[in-house]
Homo-oligomer: A and B are copies of this chain.
Amino acid sequence: MLGEARETEHGLKSSSRLNKAGHRYISQAAAKIDVDFDYDGPLMKTEVPGPRSRELMKKLNGIQNAEAVHFFCNYEESRGNYLVDVDGNRMLDLYSQISSIPIGYSHPSLIKLLQQPQNLSTFINRPALGILPPENFTEKLKESLLSVAPKGLSQVMTMSCGSCSNENAFKAIFMWYRNKERGHNNVTKEELESCMINQPPGCPDYAMLSFMGGFHGRTLGCLATTHSKAIHKLDIPSLDWPIAPFPRLKYPLEDFVKENQQEEARCLEEVEDLIVKYRKKKKIVAGIIVEPIQSEGGDNHASDDFFRKLRDIARKHGCAFLVDEVQTGGGCTGKFWAHEHWGLDDPADVVTFSKKMMTGGFFHKEEFRPNAPYRIFNTWLGDPSKNLMLAEVIKVIKTEDLLNNATHAGKALLTGLLDLQARYPHLISRVRGRGTFCSFDTPNDATRNKLITIARNKGVVLGGCGDRSIRFRPTLIFKDHHAHLFLNIFSDILANFK
């Protein structure tokens, strides 16, 4: 079985209706860029994981639990939307490293950046950014993160990963809340002494309110707000922080307007009840954390109205409003930040990011600035080499108009998925999405996993989320013709699914 070599080539050579339709939309310029560094379709040589991957998995498993490994990759050969594995299989990648590759593999702009001698130092001399930043630190932050900062958020801190971003955002919120409570900057001796032994009043009994189904990372603070899968949380001590229900919308949305409004109202009411209830037991909700689309938890959406009302509730109760854009941020929904779709009057207080942004970190309003140095701090505070690459990535996003591309390609993908849903309602339901951030449900976990495996062997990398969903997380250079190519392949899979 392992030695079996099966060559299946999809792509430009394919002649199906959807694919042709897709190619009609490609401009000459867009096609040229693709030809430069994207492949023209999947090319399969073995099943995946193939023999070489399996050999390497066995080796890795000797030094760590490698059971989550899908296959081993040849990143040197991976280009654009295509991920090449160590057995020479080339797959259209709609999962892009759990949504963390912004402009595709081996993008020419990033290669060029690495080849410029003046950038060498940034990669090999990693500084302690909080005390000894490089000369261009502020400039690169302005070119990159601040050039896409959500409205009203003038401040930014960088961190090394998504979990650290949320952990430090929590801390900034707790400090802000306590200073508000104090009403002055004078800290008591009792506070200074009690905090050293983890006790109040120095370590106050504050909480972040989170939503069932949310995912905000896996370090202990983050994990207390993560409620997507038991495997993330089992056996790890946690904190008694309030957890509200997240709306479970019925699809198609237009058929369930009233029911969904009621569902959202119920969840919002519960949020307010929890804040009051926890305050009664002397546990203060200092902030609310929410994803614009619950990703890991199953691509659960709520209406823009739900989020606007949630923001109002946060303000009404004096809680900070933290929007976790680790997975939704970076442009895939068609706006740089998914929460920009909501049309908030009063901006979010804190917005966290990582993944496609290449560096972790968070934006915040000026009032959330720590009132002393070293309060939000660690050795690295991110990595200037990531800021450098991000500045280039953002330049590409702007030059190539990739936000509009995400809207356009996302529409092609969603339309195609709705068509497949109409044809295969026993396999596909609850098709939903914003930009290319699309997903659908399958009947159950087993069917979902089978579909992902079959698709992979046909040259398409997909990801799951929740207990039965498939999520699309392509790069920002995923174009209409990639959508049509996928829909072609997947249509065949569904037609033959047993």
A106-135, CB < 8 A from B: 106-107, 110-111, 113-115, 118, 120-128, 130-135
Q: How far is the CB of A313 from chain B (nearest CB, A)?
A: 21
User: Does B373 contact A67, Cβ atoms closer than 8 Å?
Assistant: yes
Does A71 sit within 8 A of B, measured CB to CB? yes
User: Does B157 contact A160, Cβ atoms closer than 8 Å?
Assistant: no
User: Does A125 contact B141, Cβ atoms closer than 8 Å?
Assistant: no
Q: A68-B373, A72-B134, A121-B75 are in contact. Are A154 and B63 (CB under 8 A)?
A: yes
Closest to A379 in B: B98
Does A205 sit within 8 A of B, measured CB to CB? yes
The docked-state distance in angstroms from the alpha carbon of A124 to that of B102 is: 11
Inter-chain contacts of A191 with B (CB < 8 A): 234
Inter-chain contacts of A192 with B (CB < 8 A): 230, 234
Closest to A157 in B: B64
Q: How far is the CB of A406 from chain B (nearest CB, A)?
A: 20
Does A458 sit within 8 A of B, measured CB to CB? no
Does A78 sit within 8 A of B, measured CB to CB? yes
User: Does A241 contact B198, Cβ atoms closer than 8 Å?
Assistant: yes
Taking the full assembly, how many copies of this chain does it contain?
Answer: 2
Which of A11-19, A214-222, A256-264 lies on the face that meets chain B?
A214-222
Q: How far is the CB of A45 from chain B (nearest CB, A)?
A: 15
User: Does A380 contact B161, Cβ atoms closer than 8 Å?
Assistant: yes
User: Does A59 contact B379, Cβ atoms closer than 8 Å?
Assistant: no
Inter-chain contacts of A163 with B (CB < 8 A): 164, 167, 219, 378
User: Does B64 contact A156, Cβ atoms closer than 8 Å?
Assistant: yes
User: Does B125 contact A123, Cβ atoms closer than 8 Å?
Assistant: no
User: Does A126 contact B358, Cβ atoms closer than 8 Å?
Assistant: yes
User: Does A237 contact B207, Cβ atoms closer than 8 Å?
Assistant: yes
Closest to A237 in B: B206
Closest to A181 in B: B235
Inter-chain contacts of A235 with B (CB < 8 A): 171, 174-175, 177-179, 195, 202-204, 206
Inter-chain contacts of A418 with B (CB < 8 A): none
Closest to A378 in B: B218
Inter-chain contacts of A130 with B (CB < 8 A): 68-69
Choose one: B71, B175, B207, B389; the contact of A124 (CB below 8 Å): B389
User: Does B63 contact A100, Cβ atoms closer than 8 Å?
Assistant: no
The docked-state distance in angstroms from the alpha carbon of A131 to that of B70 is: 5
User: Does A97 contact B234, Cβ atoms closer than 8 Å?
Assistant: no
Q: How far is the CB of A397 from chain B (nearest CB, A)?
A: 16
The docked-state distance in angstroms from the alpha carbon of A101 to that of B105 is: 30
User: Does B111 contact A220, Cβ atoms closer than 8 Å?
Assistant: no
User: Does B220 contact A170, Cβ atoms closer than 8 Å?
Assistant: yes
User: Does B227 contact A132, Cβ atoms closer than 8 Å?
Assistant: no
Does A8 sit within 8 A of B, measured CB to CB? no
User: Does B219 contact A167, Cβ atoms closer than 8 Å?
Assistant: yes
The docked-state distance in angstroms from the alpha carbon of A74 to that of B234 is: 47
User: Does B221 contact A196, Cβ atoms closer than 8 Å?
Assistant: no
Does A146 sit within 8 A of B, measured CB to CB? yes
Inter-chain contacts of A231 with B (CB < 8 A): 372, 374-375
Does A83 sit within 8 A of B, measured CB to CB? yes
Does A427 sit within 8 A of B, measured CB to CB? no
Interface centre among A83, A132, A138, A224 (most CB of B within 10 A): A132
A356-387, CB < 8 A from B: 358, 369-380, 385
Q: How far is the CB of A230 from chain B (nearest CB, A)?
A: 4
A71-111, CB < 8 A from B: 71-76, 78, 83, 86, 97-98, 100-101, 105-107, 110-111
Q: 28 interchain pairs (CB within 8 A)?
A: A56-B133, A56-B138, A63-B146, A64-B155, A64-B369, A65-B372, A70-B131, A72-B132, A73-B134, A75-B134, A78-B121, A83-B132, A97-B128, A97-B132, A98-B128, A100-B126, A114-B123, A126-B358, A161-B164, A162-B378, A167-B219, A171-B236, A191-B234, A198-B241, A219-B219, A221-B221, A231-B374, A237-B239
Across the A-B interface, the 6 shortest Cβ-Cβ residue pairs: A220-B221, A68-B373, A67-B373, A198-B238, A203-B238, A178-B235
Residues of A within 8 A of B (CB): 52, 56, 59-60, 62-76, 78, 83, 86, 97-98, 100-101, 105-107, 110-111, 113-115, 118, 120-128, 130-135, 137-138, 141-142, 146, 154-157, 160-164, 167-168, 170-171, 174-175, 177-179, 187, 191-193, 195-199, 202-207, 212, 217-222, 224, 227, 230-241, 243, 354-355, 358, 369-380, 385, 389
Knowing that A60-B137, A178-B234, A195-B238 touch, tell me 16 more A-B residue pairs with CB under 8 angstroms: A78-B125, A97-B127, A98-B379, A105-B125, A113-B124, A124-B389, A160-B161, A160-B164, A171-B236, A174-B237, A195-B233, A198-B224, A203-B236, A219-B219, A220-B221, A231-B374
